[in-house]
Copies of this chain bind each other. A is one copy, B any other.
């Protein structure tokens, strides 16, 4: 039987994954729910439901900036809240997991079609950090015959920009790679810039730290910057700021910092809509004014409401 200890073991790799995008991690979190569900036949319906609540909270807590983890848990809890038997809970949970996976894949396909038209043929474009959505869109455009070259940067301290560069190069896209501060040297030659996104609400888009600097530089140079995001990343405003709780150990940045030097290691930041050309979603290319109608209809299960979740 799967225990609390097992849940922790399943969640740790997700918490410590600093190089994968939010959509990719959400797909892996589906497996965590499946594992926690397996072997729960001997429990009472309320015990199974509690297990799902614990799983949803643990996943949301593991990566507080990544909205798809919250929505995945929220869908599961809402789908199973009225189920009467353990078998019914299993059925509804599996349906919710399948529906969520299907939604992620479908939204990626719609976004890829929109991005295809945004890539200027034959030109250099910039791609920041690592986003499975950005990668799949660029590989899709290349495989459909569009030629372009990509500039990427490291994305210190986790260096997931190298993962982006390697993945694009293996898909037959020519990549120029440099360190993050050299963005100012390469960006003037780019005609468009793309980044992923972890979370969207009225105040803007939360993404890997460095996105704000990129956005300010793009606006200064007149280069359109697009954030790519399925609507499964939309949240109510209060949840948006959950990313501020995500702080990693300073030792990951500088393991031997001398005394008197405090090392800050925060990995997400907010980019306001005013600095971007648009948010490319499965509902089209959205601007700030379009966000309201998506976030106002979000229903949150009681167990995941911020005031009930035990998050300080």
A interface list, Cβ under 8 A from B: 154-157, 162, 165-166, 169-170, 172-186, 208-210, 212-213, 216-217, 220, 253-254, 257-266, 269
A166 to B261, Cβ gap below 8 A?
A: yes
Query: In the complex, are the beta carbons of A175 and B212 less than 8 A apart?
Result: no
- Among B178, B254, B269, contact of A263 (Cβ-Cβ < 8 Å): B178
Question: Which B residues are CB-close (under 8 A) to A166?
Answer: 258, 261
Selected A-B contacts with CB under 8 Å, 10 pairs: A156-B179, A156-B181, A170-B260, A173-B260, A175-B261, A177-B264, A178-B264, A178-B266, A181-B210, A181-B213
Q: Which listed residue (B162, B210, B258) contacts A254, Cβ 8 A?
A: B162
Most B Cβ at <10 Å: residue of A173, A175, A186, A261: A261
Let me know if B156 and A265 touch, CB within 8 A: no
| Contact assessment for B213 and A175 in the assembled complex, using a CB-CB cutoff below 8 Å | no
- Measured between alpha carbons, how far is A172 from B258 in the docked complex, in Å? 12
Min Cβ gap A130→B in Å is 13
Contact B259 A184 (CB under 8 A): no
Instruction: Establish whether residues A258 and B170, one from each chain, have CB atoms under 8 Å apart when the complex forms.
Output: yes
CA distance A102 to B203 in the complex (A): 54
Q: Are A181 and B180 in contact (CB under 8 A)?
A: yes
A260 contacts B154, C-beta separation under 8 Å: no
Contact in complex: B180, A156 (CB < 8 Å): yes
Q: Which residues of B are found within 8 Å of A180, using beta-carbon distances?
A: 156, 179-181, 210
On whether the beta carbons of B184 and A213 are closer than 8 Å, the reply is yes
Cα–Cα distance between A220 and B178 once the two chains are bound (Å): 24
Chain B neighbourhood of A269, CB < 8 A: 182, 184-185
Complex Cα distance A265/B177, Å? Answer: 9
A180 to B177, CA, bound (A): 16
In this complex, what residue of B is CB-closest to A149?
Answer: B262
Q: Which residues of B contact A257 (CB under 8 A)?
A: 162, 165, 177
| Least CB distance, A64 to chain B, in whole angstroms | 16
Taking a contact as CB atoms under 8 Å apart, the answer to whether B177 and A262 are in contact is yes
Closest 5 pairs between A and B when the two form their complex, measured CB to CB:
A181-B210, A169-B260, A184-B212, A178-B264, A156-B179
Query: Does B264 lie within 8 Å of A186, measured CB to CB?
Result: yes
Q: What is the bound-complex CA distance between A47 and B156, given in angstroms?
A: 51
Q: Could you say which residues of chain B place their CB within 8 Å of the CB of A169?
A: 258-261
- Residue from A173, A185, A263 whose CB has the most chain B CB atoms within 10 Å: A185
Are B220 and A216 closer than 8 Å at their CB atoms?
Answer: yes
**Would you give the shortest CB distance from A273 to chain B, in whole angstroms?**
15
Most buried by B among A156, A186, A266: A156
Taking the closest CB of chain B, its distance from the CB of A107, in whole angstroms, is 27
Q: Tell me if A177 and B263 are in contact (CB < 8 A).
A: yes
Closest chain B CB from A211 CB (angstroms): 8
Chain B minimum-CB-distance residue to A268: B185
